Amino acid sequence: MTDRYTIFGNPVAHSMSPVLHPYFAKVLGEDLEYGRTLVEPGAFAATAAAFFASGGCGANVTVPCKVDACNFCQELTPYAKEAGAVNTMKALGDGQVLGDNTDGRGFIEDLHRLGAPLQGARVLVMGAGGAARGILGLLAREGVSHLALTNRSAERAVELARTVSGVEVVPDGKASGHYDLIVNATSSSLLGILPNLSDQVLGDCAFAYDLMYSKDGNTTFTRHAEDLGVGQVADGYGMLILQAVLGFELWRGKRPDTADALRHFRPDAG
């Protein structure tokens, strides 16, 4: 029987995972099927249990199911534990399921790929939702000299900053001074608006990264940063590819070629 994988979420129609993983499988000569599983509200545990009981080998998890997936898995990697969220599940046999979180590592590997400033850098992260939670701890371990966090809802920033030592919480709209790297981990670009950050601060940074991605690599945030003269900008497409690369490696023990995947899916980004 062909090994079966799926993505759990609601909605799932937009997800790139059912396109990325079959491509990796084809290139690496792995035989697998990859589907989409729409999870009705409140039905994550039952839906996931049915999938794995029927022989499913692994799954990706997207909004709004990542925390439910974390609660569902019997075993968690340190990355999933730290993030409190699971984006990749793997059947271990005996009914046990391992939960991992590859979002944060995908983000960090993308920053390395792009040559973004990290060692000794001053870094500002905007946002305190699921994505920010997945990247903050990993960023703190990249040798940055200063890590600041800001969010529209101050209490969420304070709560998240408590989980990672040495993070400065900056009130919304009050970031000042120089940052080498500014990361937009809010969903503002999804709405076509900008997070609350002065043009002076954004325009002064060396690298602006938006976790949101788009077909052509431009987002509201990266476009604005470019208009302000920021030297290097990137959207989250590389992060998307890399979190999938890491998930595929967990499932199949073979690592897809990131540069090849970037060239294949977005020729201008490789």
Q: Is 156 in the site for ligand NDP (CB under 6 A)?
A: yes
Smallest distance, ligand NDP to C-beta of residue 210, A: 7
Smallest distance, ligand NDP to C-beta of residue 2, A: 27
Site residues for ligand NDP, 41-100, by CB under 6 A, read 63
Which residue of 163, 187, 214, 232 would you call a contact of ligand NDP, by CB under 6 A? Answer: 187
Site residues for ligand NDP, 102-131, by CB under 6 A, read 103, 127-131
Q: Is 186 in the site for ligand NDP (CB under 6 A)?
A: yes
Cα 163 to Cα 145: distance, rounded to the nearest angstrom: 18
CB 185 within 8 A of CB 125: yes
Residues 161, 163, 167, 170, Cα dihedral to 10° = 0
Q: Is 214 in the site for ligand NDP (CB under 6 A)?
A: no
Q: Considering beta carbons, is residue 130 or 137 the nearer one to ligand NDP?
A: 130
Q: Considering beta carbons, is residue 99 or 236 the nearer one to ligand NDP?
A: 236
Helix (H) or strand (E) holding 29: none
Q: What angle do CA 93, 36, 129 make, to 5 degrees?
A: 90
The Cβ of residue 47 has, within 10 Å, a number of other Cβ atoms equal to: 18
Which residue of 185, 208, 245, 262 would you call a contact of ligand NDP, by CB under 6 A? Answer: 185
Q: Considering beta carbons, is residue 9 or 195 the nearer one to ligand NDP?
A: 195
The Cβ of residue 81 has, within 10 Å, a number of other Cβ atoms equal to: 13
- Is 66 a residue of the active site? yes
Cα 254 to Cα 24: distance, rounded to the nearest angstrom: 9
Q: Is 211 in the site for ligand NDP (CB under 6 A)?
A: yes
Helix (H) or strand (E) holding 157: helix 154-161
Q: Considering beta carbons, is residue 3 or 64 the nearer one to ligand NDP?
A: 64
Residue 223 to residues 67, 108, 156, 233: CA-CA distances in angstroms? 32, 22, 27, 8
**Pairing, β 207-210 against β 232-234:** parallel
Smallest distance, ligand NDP to C-beta of residue 268, A: 17
Positions touching ligand NDP (CB under 6 A) are 63, 103, 127-132, 151-153, 156, 185-191, 193, 195, 211-213, 236, 239-240, 243
Instruction: Give the active site residues.
Output: 66
